[in-house]
Chains A and B, each alone.
Chain A
Amino acid sequence: MQDPDPRTLSGALQGDLGAFEDLVRLYQVEVWRYAYHLTGNRATAEDVTQETFLRAFRFLGSFRGEAKFSSWLLRIARNCSMDALRRSRDIPTPERAPIVATTPDPSLRAELLSAVRALSSGHREPFVLVEVFGLSYQEAADVLQVRVGTVKSRMHRARQVLIRHLTDEEAVDEA
């Protein structure tokens, strides 16, 4: 996730709606994708995305720059996602990501995504943040409010599980 133009961030912090809109444009896709990964539901991800930016606007004054703005924003998105899941009181049905026809082995990719969703939230969240969104361990730790070492070990564990899943699926295919 790219960093915002410092002037844009500064303007938003000073109450410029136009600047804040630029931040929305810069991050709304990533926020939606992150919310979709957490909730597994497109409609809920839309609600979470809107709520995330609304909260970010309300509490922009509390952003001190101790972490990256993107990390701060994803943390809000994570909290909103958890709130949405608690409100629904049902285990969300993960919507399946569509198969990308132009990429090699799209069915295997779809199978990986299913396996990612089957991970426990403790392993899935760091994996999504680091592997899918490209955050560093520190950034992911800021979002998840855990130690860097925890992110590191959970990433490793998630990789082990997913590698084994891919290996089993290929064994089935080859049979």
Chain B
Amino acid sequence: MRCERAELAWSERMDGGRSAVALAEALDAHVETCPACAAFADGAQRVRELARITVAEPVPDLVGPIMQRISLEEGRGRARPARWRLRAVDAADIARPETIRTDPARTAPRPAREPAPSRAPRRRPRRRREAFQLGTALIAGALVGSLVTGTGPGVVTQSGRPVPAAAIPNRVVQAAAAVRTFHATYAVTEWHFRPAVPVRRFTANVWFEAPERFRLDLADHTAYPAKGWAGNDASLVVNGSRWYRSGPGPCPMSAYPSCPDVATQVQRVDHRAPFSAGAAVPTDAVVPVQALADSSALHVLRTGRVLDRPAVEVELPYARARPLFSLLHEAGAWRPFHPRDRVHLWLDRAGWFPLRYVVLPDPSPARARWAARQGLPFEPASSEIFEASATALDLGTPRPGLFAVPRGPSTSEGATSVLLRDLDTHWDLAPVIPERTAGLDLYRVVVAPDPAPQGRLPFTDEAVAGSADAGGAPRGQPPGNSDGPRAGFHALVPPSTHAVISYSRGLTYLNLRERRSTGKEPEAFGVSSTAEEVRLPGGGSALFDAGTGSGGHHLAFHAGRVDVSIESNLAKKDLLEVAGSVAASRREVPRTWVDQRSHGGSTTRVSLDEARSEVPFAIPLPEALPAGYRLTAVERVDVAGVRGVTLYFATETGSTGLRLHLEPASGLPAASSARQYSVRVGGATGRFTPSRNLLEWVADGVYVSLDGAGRGLSSLLSIAASLRSPGEAPAPPADPARDPGDG
């Protein structure tokens, strides 16, 4: 008996199938002597045992609503509209999101009835009861309506026009450009901070005024068990070039309550560069542009109303939602979340503000092991472990003085505001000005030192006295005292500085950073050496790095005597338009930006066709990549006389990249980690290193490595299985259980 037939017969037997005695005996004999079939039998039994354990998820009692609908339909002779539901609600339901859903605890099960005798149904008494129930429900529904329009965090689900997930990123970007002012108050609840503090409660007030005024006041209402526990009262104020933060000092969660320093710590930054990443504004708290940039990570759950405003609920993994939480993580200590924990986010349909967001644990075994290492208790997948609900929303003009930054000792980012017309005077170079700015307005112009300055930093509070930024400067004229000591100032500016011309509209920004250039700088300006090379409209090329959760996209190009690096949260196509509108940009990317040399070897940027002609082995490409990934760069790698090739794959939405490397070899290199294990990759024995998300194997004399931050073994194996060289037969139909997108 062949294995394929034996497995099929065994599977049928498990499901109650009967076969002839002789066949059954042959099957038993085969399974007893065949290790593979015995393993199948054992595995099938384990699958059955796991699948048939009663699932503990609460099943709603829907008998009442079902019978009400049927009774009404029968009584009125027509079907009710699909979205109409009958349910008794009370005020206690308002605090919970699913107020239309039946609560099993509130619907008492009725005792089983005796079968009715065969006669006409008794409808008259039932109608009186139904009418009473209907009346009660309508009254309760009116009560629900009146309370939801108040200030509670009530959420009401309802059928509404659905929102395709693919449309959300664009809508959010448009909303970000349109927002001018914003104020929301959130009730925040966090579970399982520490065993002695299972629940913490906060109030967070968030204000924003375009382009760069922001304020967060976080008040901790938790009753801690003892004096030594540091509360999480915190404040963040940003007003253009000034940045201020106060809150408890850093303390690992595991160290509580014995934190080394519980005193409030204050940080101030002056001369802050526009849209500085070092002193950032958590803009996703206003409109979550970064969190919602990747529609493939979004799932639309339903529509409804929050704070009596039309809203839509989406789900995304915490790994993508992190920018939304940066607001709170600005100060104090918070419990950790796993990257695969789920975030359910309610968004205002008009302005795309976050109205409510909760975190739910991922139920995977990896998450359970992670939680154990973090010292967290068991957290069921259906239990919220974090909640932030808006209790008030106001889009009016903030009161004067709200964004005043308290004075005190500060550090300087060294960015000095200047007027655009004076920039060439300060910098001894004509600045590069784009003709098109995607509708954004000029916001600030600064001169800032290079990250590795050649001379002393010239900027002190005294040197730029009078440049206090109270936010009163009109648009187009950066705040600052342009009548100040210009000559002395110019003398203080070291040669290695760069200019930043900043544009903005709402939350959308565009920073043009410019540096003097010889065209032979050894590294790209503001982008990685493996950034994607793109063509610019009108000619020339640039390097593009998609933004990550902590920053916008980066685009770098050479423009004669100046190198330009653009950082922006505009869409890629808009960024290319801006760069293309710079006349001097119609040049090719300097080769020194992408080719690296060292004493050990070199990497050279090549095209895929060039690489295929320059290496002695076939270069396969994956036929199955996670959604949105594509080939962005190819490098020829020459090390110690061995020539290999590295291919880079990335998305345009900042997801972590994938890297595929190939070189001639007869065996795997030395282990790079103490924790590795063998895996089968096709017909070869390979190696998986979890700490590096690295899969390696050798096939046909070629060493292959595939890695990507956050990629699990299943995902890497799926991608590896889909590798095909030109002319090779297509891959077999995809395994239905394998999704290359699985993390």
Contact = CB atoms under 8 A, between A and B. Distances in A.
Interface of A: 5, 7-8, 10-11, 14-22, 24-25, 28-29, 32-33, 36, 41-43, 46, 49-51, 53-54, 57-58, 87-93, 95-101, 103, 105, 107-116, 118-120, 122-123, 127, 130-132, 136-137, 152-153, 155-156, 159-169, 171-175
Contact of A57 (B70, B98, B113): B70
B100 to A, nearest CB: 9
Given A17-B126, A46-B101, A169-B365, A156 B50 contact: no
Contacts of B52: 131-132
Contacts of A114: 363-364
Contacts of B54: 100
A109 B50 contact: yes
Contact of B57 (A97, A107, A137, A156): A97
Contacts of A97: 55, 57, 363, 381
Given A17-B67, A97-B381, A131-B52, A160 B40 contact: yes
30 contacts: A7-B115, A17-B123, A21-B113, A22-B112, A42-B57, A43-B157, A46-B60, A46-B102, A88-B162, A91-B299, A96-B342, A96-B362, A96-B364, A97-B57, A98-B380, A98-B381, A98-B383, A99-B381, A100-B56, A105-B50, A107-B365, A109-B53, A111-B364, A159-B40, A159-B47, A162-B47, A163-B44, A164-B737, A167-B43, A168-B713
Nearest to A110: B363
B165 interface: yes
Contacts of B382: 98
Interface stretch (B4-12, B496-504, B547-555, B564-572): B4-12
Interface residues of B, number: 85
B112 A32 contact: no
Q: Interface SS of chain A: helix, strand, loop or mixed?
A: helix
Contact of A100 (B53, B101, B302): B53
Nearest to A44: B302
B690 interface: yes
A90 B52 CA distance: 29
Contacts of B51: 112-113, 116, 127, 131-132
B299 A51 contact: no
B67 A43 contact: no
A7 B69 CA distance: 24
B737 A156 contact: no
B301 interface: yes
B116 A110 contact: no
A17 to B, nearest CB: 6
B300 A162 contact: no
A17 B95 CA distance: 35
A115 B363 contact: no
B71 interface: yes
A164 B714 CA distance: 11
Nearest to A124: B736
B16 interface: yes
B294 interface: no
Most chain B Cβ neighbours within 10 Å, of A29, A163, A165: A163
B107 to A, nearest CB: 12
Contacts of B679: 171
B63 A21 contact: yes
B82 interface: yes
